[in-house]
Structures are given as C-alpha cells and as structure tokens.
Amino acid sequence: GENVEQHPSTLSVQEGDSAVIKCTYSDSASNYFPWYKQELGKRPQLIIDIRSNVGEKKDQRIAVTLNKTAKHFSLHITETQPEDSAVYFCAASTNDMRFGAGTRLTVKP
Amino acid sequence: DSGVTQTPKHLITATGQRVTLRCSPRSGDLSVYWYQQSLDQGLQFLIQYYNGEERAKGNILERFSAQQFPDLHSELNLSSLELGDSALYFCASSAYPDREGEAFFGQGTRLTVV
C-alpha cells in the first residue's frame, strides 16, 4: 500500500514567519493529496487539497505544491499566526487514504 | 460539524473485553474509513469500506473487525482488548469515487482500556 513520509515532525516559528512542511509518497497511482489540521483534542479538518493534474494551489495564506515526478508535495503557510499552532497531516490517496506521521507546528507570539 | 457521527464519544472498559464503535457517514457518502490515533501519534489507517464492501485494509489487528451495513453506517469491533488498544478511534467518510478523497472526520471515540 501507499507509504507517506512527512517532515519535520516538529516545527517552531515566530509569528509572521513562514512554515513549510514536506511529504513524500510511494505509490505513483496516488492522485489526491489533502492536508489536514488537527487542534488538540479535536478531529482532523481539511484545510487544503490538490489533485494530480495540478501543480500548485493557493488559498489565502496557505499553499500546496505537488511534484508528481519526484513524488513529493509541500504545505506552505505564510504570515503565521498563533492560531495556526496545531498538528498538520498530509495524506495521499488512491482508494484508501494514508497519512503522514504529522507535524506539530508551534507559532510563537 | 462535519456531518459524520461517531458513538460513543468516550468508552472505558477492562482488558479482555469487547467493544463496538459506531459511525454514521455524511448523507450520500458511500466510503467509510477507520483510523486509530494513539496518544501524540499519527493517524493509522485500519480499514476502508465502500458501499458495504471492504475496499482497503491497513494495519488492522486480527482482534479487530469492521463492517458497513446497507444503510451505510459502519461498526468497528474490538475484542480481547489490551492496554495498548487505548486510543482515539476516528471514522471518516467521503463520496469516493464520485469525488475522490475529501474525507470528513467524525469527532472520534476515545477508548480507554484499564
């Protein structure tokens, strides 16, 4: 099955800085790549996604890039705010959806 | 509210026991996924059902089983429980294959085995 690796496992940035989280996947058939944000004690919630026919997608301060040749995709958060602090998960999907191990992002005021 | 309902929210049980976790997907979603999240860990994929049939299987123990019923709700059965089974169990649903991916999560069932 699909194997998704996510780096870094923890990330600490100063408010206003950018944060980048990177993921790689193994199954070239994967064609859907969502990112989820999970706040403490809550369920994961979709924040942005990208499909394999698109190289980049942006939604306000959040952007995702996909390199299908290299099988990696990244989440970029600009102008970080303390409320961005959470655990972020990437995932790759064909039939099933496999998640990376997560990145704990801390934004310091 | 994601539209995915999981019951119960909390469950405390003893080792060796059996429990059933229930998930009602969003209206119209045919796919249901089950995930296990241990303390400060990632989301471990257990199993996926699509329209009543098993679609994909992940790292699901033999002591665990699941099914999806004709009304599309799903149940995850955990038996011979061990302390290490204590975790947050999430169900997610999606409209796959109509809109591949886009899984929406329930609030989870927190299982504590004592």
pLDDT (0 to 100) of residue A41: 85
B101 touches chain A (CB under 8 A): yes
Note if the bond before A34 is cis, omega within 30 degrees.
no
B108 touches chain A (CB under 8 A): yes
Hey, are the CB atoms on B107 and A42 less than 8 Å from each other? yes
B103 touches chain A (CB under 8 A): yes
Chain B residues with CB under 8 Å of A42 CB are 107
CA distance A43 to chain B (A): 5
At B19-68, the pLDDT tens digits run: 999 999 999 898 999 999 998 778 999 999 999 999 889 889 999 999 99
Interface of B with A in 29-48 (CB under 8 A): 33, 35, 41-43, 45, 48
How many CB pairs (< 8 A) connect A and B? 62
Using CA atoms, how far apart are residues B23 and B4, in angstroms rounded to an integer?
7
Per-residue tokens: B85? 């089974």
Q: What is the mean pLDDT of chain A?
A: 93
Hey, are the CB atoms on B92 and A97 less than 8 Å from each other? yes
| pLDDT at residue B103 greater than cutoff 80 | yes
Chain A residues with CB under 8 Å of B94 CB are 97
Q: What is the mean pLDDT of chain B?
A: 92
Torsion-angle region of B36 (φ positive above 0: left; ψ -120 to 50: alpha; else: beta): beta
CA distance B99 to chain A (A): 10
At A53-88, the pLDDT tens digits run: 888 999 999 999 999 999 999 999 999 999 999 999
Using CA atoms, how far apart are residues B50 and B29, in angstroms rounded to an integer?
9
With b meaning 16 or more CB within 10 Å and e meaning fewer, what string describes A53-83? eeeeeeeeebbbbbebeebbbbbbbeebeee
Using CA atoms, how far apart are residues B92 and A43, in angstroms rounded to an integer?
10
Task: Label the pairing between strands B5-7 and B19-24.
Answer: antiparallel
